[in-house]
């Protein structure tokens, strides 16, 4: 296949909007949080559904705040969620040192020359102009405008400078920004989730496209011989979206007010505007924008807490989108891909519900294969188990059984150590000290039951199997007439330290098998003897 021809025909089809091309364009200034992850997910689903292309672009024009480690983390998080991209930047330290895609580079810091070129064009065509206003002048103007009209717009006075004045300023070495000249007509765009949106031209004012040098210190040169600084977000994003032939811009609704500026940029270049879809904000329980103080928000934190990626993906999909039947709640990525449509995305903001996420996580935890759970949970037991590669098979098997019993009782895997702590060690004094336990143990029946149980333990050889235990319980019940809670609770406390927990017939083998493994796990006999005193 001739690459050049293939590209040309592909490109033509792209231009005719026969293909869908979307992008996820994060700034590597922090960890990927659920809001952005949901944006990435919707982009990905939309692309996959349409058989289109999902592009990853890194918006790192804010060099003060951008960090390479965040970029790497971001890619790891996307992969963990199962969101693969078709085009994207060369990964620093990644498996491949090849850039994917023909519309690169995919990092804005590597596209500065492209922006500079386009700015020259706008300047030459009179669609943009140099603004020599100082920050102080602008500030004063803003205050005046705010007091007078309640609006803060730029007067556009540098747009009326004569060429002589411009030459003079340039010769004097005055720093300048580049502003777009806004035409006097409403700026409209179509939004797939909100319909037609329109802004009056005067509220947009002549926006800055390129910062002056003063604001671009320490940044890489915009290009050879260029006297300009670094472009602002709205400008770079619009150029990139156009040049990367993005057909649908799906992003957070905090960008709605930015969109008319970008539409004006598209118009200035004579480009066709893409479709937009603005996704609502994710809020915390107090209706404020979701943030760290509400709890976990970054994808990597959820991962560390032992949430399954399919649970998070499912939850995020449901947050702002509903299935067509109005009923289905659980979706695999595959099912989502088939069911998803932007038309069904809700425009209203959504409150992040940790309880529902937990429910979905429990759901997927129950479905997960034992070996996978073992691999995921191992890290939480680093101080109790040998490392996975140095671990004897019997220990591995035992651990899987332990998980099978206790995973259904947790919301996320990091709750496992505390749930299972009593298996690995037994603290009789703490068990007695517990108030609820003390109430149970205070009863005469409890003393009788425990004495009976201890007698049988002493007379017994070998592990206490579920069958042996059952027989003892039946005997004690028959001998003493004690049954139900009065019978079981004291025994449970003597073995586990708590009056509630998993079923004895599954729990006992875990304890007795564990005791035989050399992990320091006390046997049932050890426990009971220590508890009642020998």
Contact 114, 243 (CB under 8 A): yes
Site for RNA in 287-316 (CB under 7 A): 287-289
Say which residues have a Cβ less than 8 Å from residue 46's Cβ, sequence separation at least 6. Answer: 20, 22, 52, 248, 250, 340, 342
- Residue 435 near RNA by CB under 7 A: no
Q: Output 1 or 369, the one with its CB closest to RNA.
A: 369
- CA-nearest of 416, 397, 422 to 516 is 397
Q: Output 27 or 43, the one with its CB closest to RNA.
A: 27
- Residue 31 near RNA by CB under 7 A: no
Site for RNA in 474-533 (CB under 7 A): 484-485, 487-489, 492, 499-504
- CA-nearest of 206, 265, 269 to 235 is 265
**Span of 90-98, 278-286, 332-340, 367-375 interacting with RNA by CB under 7 A:** 278-286
Run of H or E residues at 300: helix 299-304
Contact 311, 361 (CB under 8 A): yes
Site for RNA in 82-101 (CB under 7 A): none
Contact 215, 300 (CB under 8 A): no
Site for RNA in 41-80 (CB under 7 A): 59, 61-62, 65
Q: Output 287 or 393, the one with its CB closest to RNA.
A: 287
Site for RNA in 258-277 (CB under 7 A): 258
Site for RNA in 11-30 (CB under 7 A): 27, 29
Q: Output 175 or 274, the one with its CB closest to RNA.
A: 175
Q: Contact with RNA (CB under 7 A): which of 39, 43, 73, 212? A: 212
Q: Contact with RNA (CB under 7 A): which of 1, 3, 164, 355? A: 355
Site for RNA in 365-424 (CB under 7 A): 408-409
Counting residues that bind RNA (by CB under 7 A) gives: 84
Nearest 10 degrees: CA dihedral of 435, 438, 440, 445? -170
Q: How many helices (H) and strands (E) does the chain have?
A: 23, 11
- Per-residue burial over 215-246, b if 16 or more Cβ lie within 10 Å, else e, is ebeebeebbeebebbbbbbbbbbbbbbbebbb
Q: Contact with RNA (CB under 7 A): which of 5, 160, 293, 327? A: 327
Site for RNA in 136-155 (CB under 7 A): 138, 142, 146, 150-152
**Span of 93-101, 341-349, 386-394, 518-526 interacting with RNA by CB under 7 A:** 341-349
**Minimal distance, residue 193 CB to RNA, in Å:** 7
- Residue 283 near RNA by CB under 7 A: yes
- Residue 229 near RNA by CB under 7 A: yes
Q: Output 102 or 356, the one with its CB closest to RNA.
A: 356
**Minimal distance, residue 481 CB to RNA, in Å:** 15
Phi/psi zone of residue 413: left (φ > 0), alpha (ψ -120 to 50 degrees), beta?
A: alpha
**Minimal distance, residue 388 CB to RNA, in Å:** 27
- Residue 347 near RNA by CB under 7 A: yes
- Per-residue burial over 354-370, b if 16 or more Cβ lie within 10 Å, else e, is eeebbebbbebbeebee
Say which residues have a Cβ less than 8 Å from residue 230's Cβ, sequence separation at least 6. Answer: 61, 112, 210, 211, 215, 216, 219, 222
**Span of 71-79, 164-172, 255-263, 454-462 interacting with RNA by CB under 7 A:** 255-263
Bridge partner list, 278: 251
- Residue 181 near RNA by CB under 7 A: no
Q: Where are the alpha helices (DSSP H) in 209-298?
A: 233-243, 259-269
**Span of 83-91, 199-207, 371-379, 380-388 interacting with RNA by CB under 7 A:** 199-207
- Distance separating alpha carbons of residues 145 and 153, to the nearest angstrom: 7
- CA-nearest of 190, 180, 175 to 129 is 180
**Minimal distance, residue 30 CB to RNA, in Å:** 10
- Residue 166 near RNA by CB under 7 A: no
Q: Output 109 or 309, the one with its CB closest to RNA.
A: 109
Nearest 10 degrees: CA dihedral of 439, 445, 446, 450? 170
Q: Output 205 or 523, the one with its CB closest to RNA.
A: 205
Q: Output 82 or 201, the one with its CB closest to RNA.
A: 201
Bridge partner list, 87: 55
Q: Output 307 or 385, the one with its CB closest to RNA.
A: 307
């Amino acid at each position: 296949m001739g690459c050049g021809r293939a590209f040309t025909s592909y490109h033509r089809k792209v231009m005719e909007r026969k293909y869908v091309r979307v992008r996820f364009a994060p700034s590597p200034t922090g960890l990927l949080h659920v809001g952005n992850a949901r944006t990435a997910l919707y982009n990905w689903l939309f692309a996959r559904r349409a058989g289109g292309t999902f592009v990853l672009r890194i918006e790192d024009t804010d060099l003060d705040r951008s960090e390479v480690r965040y970029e790497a983390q971001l890619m790891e998080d996307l992969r963990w969620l199962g969101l693969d991209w078709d085009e994207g930047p060369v990964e620093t330290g990644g498996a491949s040192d090849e850039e994917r895609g023909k519309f690169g580079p995919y990092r804005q810091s590597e596209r500065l020359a492209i922006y500079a070129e386009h700015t020259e064009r706008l300047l030459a065509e009179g669609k943009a102009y140099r603004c020599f206003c100082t920050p102080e002048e602008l500030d004063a103007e803003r205050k005046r405008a705010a007091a007078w009209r309640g609006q803060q717009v730029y007067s556009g006075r540098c747009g009326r400078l004569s060429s002589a004045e411009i030459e003079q300023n340039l010769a004097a070495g005055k720093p300048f920004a580049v502003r777009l000249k806004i035409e006097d007509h409403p700026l409209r765009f179509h939004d797939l989730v909100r319909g037609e949106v329109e802004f009056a031209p005067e509220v947009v004012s002549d926006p800055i496209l390129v910062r002056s040098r003063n604001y671009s210190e320490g940044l890489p040169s915009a290009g050879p011989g260029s006297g300009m600084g670094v472009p602002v977000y709205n400008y770079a994003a619009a150029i990139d979206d156009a040049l990367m032939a993005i057909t649908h811009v799906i992003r957070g609704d905090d960008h709605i007010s930015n969109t008319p500026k970008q539409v004006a940029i598209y118009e200035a270049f004579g480009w066709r505007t893409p479709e937009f879809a603005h996704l609502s904000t994710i809020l915390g329980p107090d209706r404020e924008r979701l943030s760290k103080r509400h709890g976990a928000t970054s994808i990597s934190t959820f991962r560390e807490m032992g949430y399954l990626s399919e649970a998070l993906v499912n939850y995020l999909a449901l947050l702002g989108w509903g299935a067509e039947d109005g009923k289905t709640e659980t979706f695999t990525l595959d099912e989502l891909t088939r069911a998803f449509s932007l038309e069904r995305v809700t425009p209203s903001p959504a409150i992040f519900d940790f309880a529902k996420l937990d429910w979905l996580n429990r759901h997927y935890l129950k479905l997960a294969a034992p070996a996978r759970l073992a691999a995921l949970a191992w890290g939480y037991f680093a101080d109790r188990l040998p490392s996975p590669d140095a671990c004897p098979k019997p220990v591995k098997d035992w651990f899987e059984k332990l998980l099978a019993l206790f995973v259904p009782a947790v919301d996320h895997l990091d709750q496992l150590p505390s749930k299972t702590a009593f298996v690995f060690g037994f603290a009789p004094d703490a068990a007695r000290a517990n108030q609820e336990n003390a109430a149970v143990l205070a009863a005469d029946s409890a003393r009788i039951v425990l004495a009976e149980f201890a007698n049988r333990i002493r007379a017994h050889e070998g592990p206490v199997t579920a069958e042996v235990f059952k027989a003892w319980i039946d005997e004690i019940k028959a001998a003493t007439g004690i049954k139900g809670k009065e019978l079981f609770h004291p025994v449970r406390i003597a073995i586990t330290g708590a009056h509630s927990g998993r079923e004895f017939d599954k729990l006992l083998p875990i304890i007795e098998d564990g005791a035989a493994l050399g992990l320091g796990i006390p046997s049932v006999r050890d426990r009971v003897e220590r508890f009642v005193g020998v």
